[in-house]
């Protein structure tokens, strides 16, 4: 039986530092593709990028939500052994949420949006997508972006533009989104405005 | 095997780093908002930059090059000891050259040389709450930020004008970030405020004693508060740096004797040295060759 002991970071200190800088650069420069330089290996349904993000950011103080295909004993055992993070069922209680596809993601508004006094208590969603480019072109604007940028990730939730606009409307409340694929991460903090077009 | 116990890389334990890292990510996502974090005891007293040190310790990696400045100077006690601290516990390369650094930890100045993409400026912040001297209750200031109720701050600036004929605040001059949060830029001279606006660098702020982290991402609007009829302006100096002749830089006054003799020199020591190496000489400076 797989009890989740395998995998994880071989060098937890420097791999999580590298992972964090990748994620921080992604959120500070929304829409740019940042590569995980010292990635972990995939584990079961968890892709390598999901594992890297999970091990970098999660521990016993960070309740996490897992999408359906991650709710398996091997993933749960892996999470328990390597991070100790409590797994919650309600998206609204999660500090971080991990999903393997947009189809398994509830509406963004169901996650914790934070409060007006404490907007930092909102959920950070980590979504594995098929690719970070090759999809419909979207225009991004906001802090961290000089003038405007372009993104074209594949596998975004349906009606993403509308859901994101609703999320943006809540500012300073709202969720933050990390899209991961191909050993890289693309950050979309709540401040980013997204529109269709070229 | 090494028999002597070592500190963890960059001193902090991994769980603390993760907690601070999560706070930094939320700070970047909500520019100007102060994220509470569980500040740790550091091997230096509060007021010596424990907030900045914790932020630096959580982001720094072996490939980073660290510069630390105290009031613009690389060679003052606070800067030297923090640089030595990270050289010891993280074995990172350190520098005094602004352009060579990937992380610059600062106490109360922004380097004169414009920062570039990929550089990170870490501020040591004593009191992160810009409204604190106007409203001592945290519950109230938090509500004021939540409701975007910043009238009190404008009243304070107006009282300056009523009393002095101009806005007399010269440091820790409040700014509004991305049109939403009013933020304390830490006690930097207001001379440095325009450098925060649309900076290429990521700016992180750590307040250890007050348990707060906040951030300004690159290319973010940072506007100093003012009035239409009393627009924000920075300090102006009547004479250039006495050593390197620089103008449009922030100068410190140095007393030379007890008969009123004084000189103005660059606060940014690295900028001053580079200018002197490039051959610039001020009225009291000596040409580089002669000095050696």
Number of domains in chain B: 3
Q: Is A24 on the interface with B (CB under 8 A)?
A: yes
pLDDT in tens, A149-178: 999 999 999 999 999 999 999 999 999 999
Q: Does residue B85 have a cis bond before it (omega within 30 degrees)?
A: no
With respect to residue B290, please indicate whether it lies within any of the assigned structural domains: no
B131 neighbors B268 (Cβ within 8 angstroms)? no
B90 and B102 assigned to the same domain: yes
**3-class DSSP state of A75:** helix
Residues B197 and B125 in one domain: yes
DSSP-assigned beta bridge partners for residue B213 = B35, B206
How far apart are the C-alpha atoms of A188 and A148, rounded to whole Å? 13
Same domain, B30 and B107: yes
Q: What pLDDT shows up at residue B292?
A: 46
Task: Please tell me what DSSP assigns to residue A89.
Answer: S
One digit per residue, pLDDT tens: chain B, 292 residues?
566 778 999 999 999 999 999 999 999 999 999 999 999 999 998 889 999 999 999 999 999 999 999 999 999 999 999 999 999 999 999 999 999 999 999 999 999 999 999 999 999 999 999 999 999 999 999 999 999 999 999 999 999 999 999 999 999 999 999 999 999 999 999 999 999 999 999 999 999 999 999 999 999 999 999 999 999 999 999 999 999 999 999 999 999 999 999 999 999 999 999 999 999 999 998 876 644 4
The answer to whether residue B291 sits within a structural domain is: no
Domains and CATH numbers, chain A: 12-196 (3.40.50.11310)
B185 and B266 share one domain: no
Do residues B36 and B212 lie in contact, with contact meaning Cβ atoms separated by under 8 Å? yes
Cβ neighbors of A80 (< 8 A, separation 6 or more) are A4
- Does the CB of A83 have a partner CB in chain B at under 8 Å? no
* Same domain, residue pair B93 and B163: no
Are residues B193 and B113 both part of a single domain?
yes
Residue-by-residue DSSP string for B9-24: TTBS-HHHHHHHHHHH
Q: Residue B47 catalytic?
A: no
The 8-class DSSP code of residue A108 comes to G
Do B139 and B164 fall into the same domain? yes
Name residues 139-198 of chain A within 8 A of B (Cβ): 143-146, 171-172, 176, 189-191
Return the CATH number at B189. Answer: 3.40.50.11310
Cβ atoms of B199 and B216 within 8 Å: the answer is yes
The answer to whether position B82 is within a domain reads yes
Assess if residue B188 is contained within a domain.
yes
Domain containing residue B73 = 14-130+173-220
Considering the domain architecture, whether residues B96 and B148 belong to the same structural domain is answered as: no
Residues B40 and B54: beta-carbon distance below 8 Å: yes
Based on the fold, state whether residues B146 and B187 are members of the same structural domain.
no
Q: Catalytic: which of B32, B49, B208, B285? A: B32
Q: Which residues of A touch B220 (CB under 8 A)?
A: 143-144
Q: What is the mean pLDDT of chain A?
A: 96
For A57-165, strand residue ranges (E) read 64-66, 87-88, 96-99, 124-128, 138-141, 149-151
Residue B227: inside a domain, yes or no? no
DSSP 8-state symbol, B109 = -
- Whether the CB-CB separation of A79 and A54 falls below 8 Å is answered with yes
Claim to verify: residue B142 and residue B241 sit in the same structural domain: no
Mean pLDDT computed over A91-108: 97
Residues B126 and B138 grouped into a single domain? no
Examine the domain organization and report whether B189 and B51 are in the same domain: yes
Q: Write the DSSP string, B168-236.
A: ---BS--EEETTTEEE---S-BGGGHHHHTT-SSEEEEEETTTTEEEEE-SS--EEE--BTTB------
ipTM, two decimals, is 0.97
Whether residue A4 is predicted with pLDDT greater than 80 in this model: the reply is no
pLDDT value at residue B46: 87
Task: Report the chain B residue with the minimal C-alpha distance to residue A121.
Answer: B26
The encoded tokens of residue A181 equal: 């694929």
- Total Cβ atoms within 10 A of residue A131: 14
């Amino acid at each position: 039986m797989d009890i989740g002991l395998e995998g994880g970071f071989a060098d937890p200190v420097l791999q999580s530092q590298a992972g964090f800088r990748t994620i921080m650069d992604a959120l500070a420069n929304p829409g740019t593709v940042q590569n995980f330089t010292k990635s972990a290996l995939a584990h079961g349904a968890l892709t390598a990028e999901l594992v890297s993000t999970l091990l970098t950011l999660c521990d016993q103080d960070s309740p996490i939500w897992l999408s359906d295909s991650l709710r398996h004993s091997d993933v749960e055992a892996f999470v328990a052994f390597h991070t100790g993070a409590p797994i919650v069922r309600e998206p609204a209680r999660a500090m971080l949420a991990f999903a393997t596809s947009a189809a398994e993601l509830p509406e963004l508004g169901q996650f914790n949006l934070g409060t007006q006094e404490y907007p930092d208590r909102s959920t950070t969603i980590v979504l594995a997508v098929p690719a970070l480019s090759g999809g419909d072109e979207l225009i991004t604007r906001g802090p961290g972006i000089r003038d405007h940028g372009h993104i074209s990730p594949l596998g975004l939730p349906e009606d993403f533009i509308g859901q994101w606009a609703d999320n943006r409307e809540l500012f300073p409340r709202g969720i933050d989104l990390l899209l991961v694929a191909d050993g890289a991460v693309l950050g979309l903090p709540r401040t980013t405005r997204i529109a269709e077009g070229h | 095997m090494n028999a002597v116990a070592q500190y963890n890389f960059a001193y902090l334990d991994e769980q603390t780093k993760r907690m601070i890292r999560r706070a930094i990510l939320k700070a970047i996502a909500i520019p100007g908002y102060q994220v509470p974090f569980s500040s740790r005891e550091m091997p230096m007293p509060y007021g010596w930059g424990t907030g900045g040190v914790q932020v630096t310790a959580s982001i720094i990696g072996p490939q980073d090059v660290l510069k630390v400045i105290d009031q613009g100077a690389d060679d003052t006690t606070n800067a030297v000891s923090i640089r030595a601290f990270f050289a010891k516990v993280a074995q990172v390369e350190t520098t005094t050259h602004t352009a060579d650094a990937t992380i610059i930890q600062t106490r109360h100045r922004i380097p004169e040389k414009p920062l570039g993409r990929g550089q990170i400026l870490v501020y040591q912040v004593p009191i992160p709450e810009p409204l604190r001297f106007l409203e001592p209750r945290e519950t109230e200031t938090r509500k004021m930020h939540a409701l975007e109720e910043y009238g009190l701050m404008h009243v304070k600036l107006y009282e300056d004008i009523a009393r002095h004929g101009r806005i007399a605040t010269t440091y820790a001059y409040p700014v509004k970030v991305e049109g939403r949060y009013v933020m304390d830029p830490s006690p930097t001279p207001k001379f440095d405020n325009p450098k925060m606006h649309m900076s290429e660098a990521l700016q992180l702020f750590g307040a250890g004693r007050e348990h707060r982290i906040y951030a300004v991402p690159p290319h973010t609007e940072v506007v100093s508060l003012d009035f239409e009829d009393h627009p924000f302006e920075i300090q102006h100096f009547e004479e250039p740096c006495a050593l390197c002749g620089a103008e449009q830089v922030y100068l410190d006054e140095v007393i030379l004797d007890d008969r009123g003799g004084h000189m103005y020199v660059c606060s940014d020591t690295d900028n001053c040295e580079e200018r002197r190496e490039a051959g610039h000489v001020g009225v009291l400076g000596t040409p580089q060759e002669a000095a050696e």
